[in-house]
């Protein structure tokens, strides 16, 4: 993979970063956190800017972009701690368009691009094992519970991983149905999430096992990018602080101990970012393995708490108060480090195939 961005990707990154900096004030994010709401204004702007259409086919009004392009978009939203389900909705749409083509999937993606449908994944069950699906689809209905459904209370539909006989499938469930209840959760990330309960909710099967596997891999890869975004922003903010905060008559950034911390933070962010984007590049080419994606997520999940804790250490007492924007990235990063598989869960997935022969010259 060529790790250099092409001019179009650089323009995308810079445009999104500048837009978010000017249009999404952090004080508004604080208000949304306090009120447990999501940023509907920003979501509308996403549609208006055409960013939600980025990875979809041009013939239906999409941008024809790659998963690496999507990663750049997601990273910038993580760097702003934005409270919108961009990763969740794009994960649903990409999995359906690319791995379950057909009239129903096409119609759903087109409705997404039109802004009339907002789907989010509902995959994790009470046993907390990502990828294990036991919730049954019987007679066009689902009954059971899904946990940590991000933005589930604001979505129009849940894309539910269920079991149809012997195979895992994806079902579309209307979140407004009387057979669906959503219990809001309060967690460390301070973003909307629910426990969703389905009591014989009408469910339309829209995809089979291939799309389920693709959704899980893409969701995990994009969560890795979100971790990297939070860590990268914490690093950038910390370096800026160390250049102006003085002790003993000079900036603290001139002290060797602080330099060492900053260097270690940078190395962690860069290495994890490369692994995350390499995983997206492999997914785009159809050659990614579950172990590769799991390793990228494990790296990012380990990096973000280590980097943000060092950031707080360099900030000292100023890093403790929530008036300092650093807390956004510490909390978001920690929550994303657990979502779609923690360090230990991802490394366990990697270890499960450690004895598989590898053709290094293939």
Work out the percent of the chain whose per-residue pLDDT is above 90.
94
DSSP 252: G
d(CA 51, CA 224) in angstroms, rounded, equals: 20
Three-state secondary structure string covering 288-333: CCHHHHHHHHHHHHHHHHHHHHHHHHHHHHHHCCCCCCHHHHHHHH
**C-beta separation of 222 from 110 below 8 A:** no
CA 286 to chain centre: 20
Q: From residue 277, give the alpha-carbon distance in Å to each of 35, 114, 271.
A: 34, 28, 10
Indicate the fold that domain 212-352 takes in CATH.
Butyryl-CoA Dehydrogenase, subunit A; domain 3 (1.20.140)
pLDDT at 359 over 80: no
Instruction: Indicate the SS3 state at residue 138.
Output: strand
On average, the pLDDT of the chain sits at 96
What CATH architecture applies to the domain 7-114?
Orthogonal Bundle (1.10)
Query: What's the whole-model pTM score?
Result: 0.97
**Mean pLDDT, residues 69-74 taken together:** 98
Only one residue has tokens 């980097």, namely: 307
Question: Which pLDDT belongs to residue 91?
Answer: 98
pLDDT at 362 over 70: no
Residue 195: closest CA among 207, 184, 187, 203: 184
d(CA 59, CA 46) in angstroms, rounded, equals: 20
161-183, pLDDT tens digit by residue?
999 999 999 999 999 999 999 99
- Which run of H or E residues covers position 87? helix 86-99
When pLDDT is cut at 50, 70 and 90, the band that residue 344 belongs to is: very high
Domain ranges of the chain: 7-114, 119-208, 212-352
8-49, pLDDT tens digit by residue?
999 999 999 999 999 999 999 999 999 999 999 999 999 999
pLDDT at 354 over 90: no
Indicate the fold that domain 119-208 takes in CATH.
Butyryl-CoA Dehydrogenase, subunit A; domain 2 (2.40.110)
């Amino acid at each position: 993979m060529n790790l250099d961005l092409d001019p179009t990707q650089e323009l995308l990154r810079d445009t999104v970063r500048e837009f978010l900096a000017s249009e999404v004030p952090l004080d508004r994010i604080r208000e949304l956190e306090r009120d447990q709401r999501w940023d509907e204004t920003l979501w509308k702007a996403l549609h208006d800017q055409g960013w939600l259409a980025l990875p979809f086919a041009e013939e239906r009004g999409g941008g024809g972009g790659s998963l690496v392009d999507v990663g750049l978009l997601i990273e910038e939203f993580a760097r702003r701690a934005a409270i919108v389900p961009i990763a969740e909705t794009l994960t649903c749409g990409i999995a359906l368009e690319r791995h379950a083509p057909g009239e129903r999937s096409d119609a759903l993606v087109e409705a997404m691009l039109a802004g009339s449908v907002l789907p989010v994944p509902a995959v994790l069950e009470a046993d907390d094992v990502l990828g294990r699906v036991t919730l049954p689809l019987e007679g066009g209905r689902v009954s059971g519970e899904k946990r940590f459904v991000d933005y589930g209370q604001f979505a129009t539909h849940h894309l539910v991983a269920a079991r149809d006989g012997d195979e895992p499938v994806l079902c579309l469930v209307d979140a407004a149905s009387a057979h669906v209840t959503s219990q809001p959760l309060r967690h460390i990330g301070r973003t909307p999430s629910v426990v969703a309960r389905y009591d014989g909710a009408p469910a339309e099967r829209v995809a089979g096992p291939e799309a389920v596997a693709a959704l899980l891999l893409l969701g995990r890869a994009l969560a890795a990018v979100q971790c990297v975004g939070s860590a990268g922003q914490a690093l950038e903010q910390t370096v800026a602080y160390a250049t102006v905060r003085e002790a003993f008559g000079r900036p603290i950034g001139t002290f060797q101990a602080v330099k060492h911390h900053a260097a270690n933070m940078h190395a962690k962010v860069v290495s994890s970012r490369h692994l995350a984007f390499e995983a997206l590049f492999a997914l785009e080419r159809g050659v990614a393995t579950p172990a590769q994606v799991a390793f990228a997520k494990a790296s990012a999940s380990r990096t973000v708490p280590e980097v943000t804790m060092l950031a707080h250490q360099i900030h000292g007492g100023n890093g403790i108060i929530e008036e300092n924007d650093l807390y956004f990235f510490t909390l978001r990063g920690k929550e994303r480090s657990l979502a779609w598989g923690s360090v230990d869960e991802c490394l366990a997935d990697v270890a499960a195939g450690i004895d598989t022969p590898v053709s290094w010259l293939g």
